[in-house]
C-alpha cells in the first residue's frame, strides 16, 4: 500500500496508562522472536495477578533504534502489576501525541514513521525521545499483511 493512501496524522492528548512489560535491548533482526517470547509470557503473568489486560500489545521504544533497539514490549493493564521475573510494571506516558495509523505490513512501518516525523516537523513541533507502536490488529500466520493496523504514537512539545 502506498503511503499516499495511508490515514493522515493527528494530535491527541493521552492519559498515563499502567502497563505490564518485558524490557530488552534487542538486535533489530531479533525483534520478532523477542515480541513472540515477551507477549507469550506477559498474559499469564498478568492474569495470575488478577489484573485485566485492557488493550492490544504495544512496543515502547526508548530512543531511535539503530542496530539495537531499547524497548518495552507489553500490554496496557487496568492497574499496576507486581514484578514477576522479567515481567515488570511500567507505563505509557501522558501528554500530547502525534498519532497515525499505519495500514499494512510491518515491513513498511519505517515509511510511516518517517512520514509522521515529517508531519511533526512541518507542524513546528518537537518529537520526544520515546515513542510507541500499538498493534491494533493481532498478527497471525495466515492473515494478509495488508490487513494489519498499527497505531504509531510520538509524544511532542511545542
The whole-angstrom separation of Cα 58 and Cα 20 is 10
For residue 66, give every residue at least 6 positions away whose Cβ sits within 8 Å of its Cβ, in sequence order, or none: none
- Determine if the pTM surpasses 0.85: yes
- Percentage of residues in the chain with pLDDT exceeding 90? 81
Instruction: Measure the N-to-C terminal CA separation of the chain; round to a whole number of Å.
Output: 32
Among 49, 69, 57, 50, smallest CA distance to 19 is for: 57
Q: pLDDT tens across 96-112, in order?
A: 999 999 998 888 898 99
Does pLDDT of 138 surpass 90? no
Q: pLDDT tens across 2-35, in order?
A: 444 678 999 999 999 999 999 999 999 999 999 9
The whole-angstrom separation of Cα 143 and Cα 89 is 31
Please state the rounded mean pLDDT for residues 66-95: 97
Contact 102, 150 (CB under 8 A): yes
Segments in the chain forming alpha helices (H):
31-48, 109-122
CATH fold of 8-157: Multidrug-efflux Transporter 1 Regulator Bmrr; Chain A (3.20.80)
Amino acid at each position: 500500500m502506498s503511503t499516499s493512501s495511508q490515514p493522515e496524522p493527528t494530535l491527541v492528548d493521552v492519559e498515563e496508562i499502567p502497563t505490564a512489560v518485558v524490557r530488552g535491548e534487542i538486535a533489530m533482526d531479533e525483534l520478532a522472536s523477542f515480541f513472540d517470547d515477551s507477549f507469550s509470557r506477559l498474559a499469564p503473568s498478568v492474569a495470575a495477578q488478577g489484573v485485566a489486560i485492557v488493550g492490544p500489545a504495544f512496543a515502547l521504544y526508548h530512543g531511535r533504534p539503530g542496530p539495537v533497539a531499547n524497548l518495552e514490549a507489553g500490554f496496557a493493564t487496568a492497574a499496576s502489576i507486581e514484578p514477576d521475573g522479567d515481567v515488570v510494571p511500567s507505563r505509557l506516558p501522558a501528554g500530547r501525541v502525534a498519532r497515525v495509523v499505519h495500514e499494512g505490513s510491518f515491513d513498511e512501518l519505517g515509511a510511516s514513521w518517517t512520514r509522521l516525523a515529517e508531519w511533526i516537523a512541518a507542524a513546528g513541533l518537537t518529537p520526544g525521545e520515546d515513542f510507541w507502536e500499538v498493534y491494533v490488529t493481532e498478527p497471525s500466520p495466515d492473515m494478509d499483511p495488508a490487513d494489519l493496523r498499527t497505531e504509531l504514537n510520538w509524544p511532542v512539545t511545542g
